[in-house]
Amino acid sequence: MTTLSSIAARLEGLAIEVPSWAYGNSGTRFKVFATAGTPRTVEEKIADAAKVHELTGLAPAVALHIPWDKVDDFGRLKEHAAGLGIALGTVNSNTFQDDDYKFGSLTHSDPAVRRKAVDHMLECIDIMDQTGSRDLKIWLADGTNYPGQGNMRARQDWLQESLRQVYDRLGDHQRMVLEYKFFEPAFYHTDVPDWGTSYAHCLELGEKAMVCLDTGHHAPGTNIEFIVAQLLRLGKLGSFDFNSRFYADDDLIVGSADPFQLFRIMFEVVRGGGFGPDSGVALMLDQCHNLEEKIPGQIRSVLNVQEMTARALLVDTEALDTAQQAGDVLAANGIFMDAFYTDVRPGLAEWRESRGLPADPMAAYRASGYQEKINTERQGGQQAGWGA
Ligand code: LRH
Ligand code: MN
Ligand code: MN
């Protein structure tokens, strides 16, 4: 049986990017509840993200969403983040909140709208030049609601043409990650609905284009870890947007609805060479905290990823290989489940303490007084997504 101390060093390789929008107010289309202490500025979102890293050592970068996080001087924002001990990470483009995009963005039948969407992405790359970010994330709300409404085939061609213009602007050390989602906001067809479509476009574009897998973007029952294994095998898994769901794209705390699924995903990540700083796979959160407090919600999230990563690293792969080779179904499954059922929490508390981190980051946050401070200081915080 593999022990926690034997995987302690590998756990150092875990780094999770937190989303700036997780710190803003969010809700459903029925109601957005305001939460005390909500950031009023991009700088305050970054300060909250830095708090998560300070207490967990797990979240060294914060992902930005443009225009939600647009500021005049991104160089200064980078310095502000660095001063707080974190980096600016993935830049998320946004072509879903403008009237011009009603019938599509990069896939629109009107070249002028496609141009506008491409220009937005080029602006995001300019920002990346200033923030030092590696990845441009593209998720498109493009699709149609009724059969016959759009030319699905032509839209694929326009998509490739548009993506090509964005791709060609990427610097040597920059990448594009193309996120797929099977439905919503479009309900009949979506232009990038699945990993295969994203993969096909990325393959055509070149090696700097990779697939982004958002765990909430699949039909119920989809074997997500299989997709992970396949994309790693193909060398095209660029990043994750982690979250949990019960029904659709719920954006709940990762590992809350189905910790076992997160374990299975992390097992394939580790086995497929997707784990660690040099793997080229970015682990990001894409979540909203509608009811719970945002900073402890993010702390809980990164701890959940750490717990399931530790369990995945604990799988005795040698014994597993042997059982699989022997066709011993129950032994193989038993070895897998032994790791999943191992309570790694006491070991991780020790791991944290040995690195000068609080044994219990949730308790440390409550004791820090930070929440009370921001509750008093910040009045009129912003709604996630409308903070620009
Ligand atoms: C779309 C999505 C995408 C967006 C984010 C706010 O559902 O997952 O990643 O950028 O939500
Ligand atoms: Mn996402
Ligand atoms: Mn989503």
pLDDT tens for each residue of 223-254: 999 999 999 999 999 999 999 999 999 999 99
pLDDT at 379: 83
Closest ligand 1 atom to Cα of 65? 10
Q: What pLDDT score does 205 carry?
A: 99
Pocket test for ligand 1, best of 101, 241, 245, 251 (most atoms within 8 A of CB): 241
Centre of ligand 1 to C-alpha 271, Å, is: 27
Strands 143-144 and 189-190: antiparallel
Nearest CA to ligand 1 atom 4: 139
Atom of ligand 1 nearest to the CA of 184: 7
Q: At the fourth CATH level, which superfamily is domain 14-313+344-377? A: Divalent-metal-dependent TIM barrel enzymes (3.20.20.150)
**C-alpha–C-alpha distance, residues 52 and 121, integer Å:** 29
ipTM over 0.90: yes
State both tokens at 59: 């979240």
Ligand nearest to the CA of 97: 1
Q: Length of the chain in residues, anyone?
A: 388
pLDDT of 387 over the 50 cut: no
**For ligand 1, atom 1: residue with the closest CA:** 139
25/346 Cα distance (integer angstroms): 33
Pocket perturbation via mutation, ligand 1, pick of 101, 139, 251 by most ligand atoms within 8 A of CB: 139
Rg over CA atoms, the chain: 21
Separation of 347 CA from ligand 3 center, angstroms?
33
CB 198 within 8 Å of CB 179:
yes
For 311-336, what is the mean pLDDT? 98
Of the candidates 374, 313, 372, the one whose C-alpha atom is nearest the C-alpha of residue 348 is 313
The binding-site residues of ligand 1, defined as CB within 6 angstroms of any ligand atom, are 92, 139, 179, 181, 214, 241, 249, 286
Query: Of all residues in the chain, what percent carry a pLDDT higher than 90?
Result: 95
**Ligand 3 center to 22 CA (angstroms):** 12
**How confident is the model over 48-66, as pLDDT tens digits?**
999 999 999 999 999 999 9
Q: What ranges do the domains of the chain cover?
A: 14-313+344-377
The tokens for 236 are 């095209």
pTM above 0.90, yes or no: yes
Atom of ligand 1 nearest to the CA of 214: 8
Residue 138 near residue 179, CB atoms below 8 Å: yes
Mean pLDDT over each residue of the chain, to the nearest integer:
96
7 C-alpha vs ligand 2 centroid, how far in Å? Answer: 30
| pLDDT grade for 388, boundaries at 50, 70 and 90 | very low
Ligand 1 atom nearest residue 249's Cα: 7
Contacts of 351 (CB under 8 A, 6+ apart): 4, 8, 11
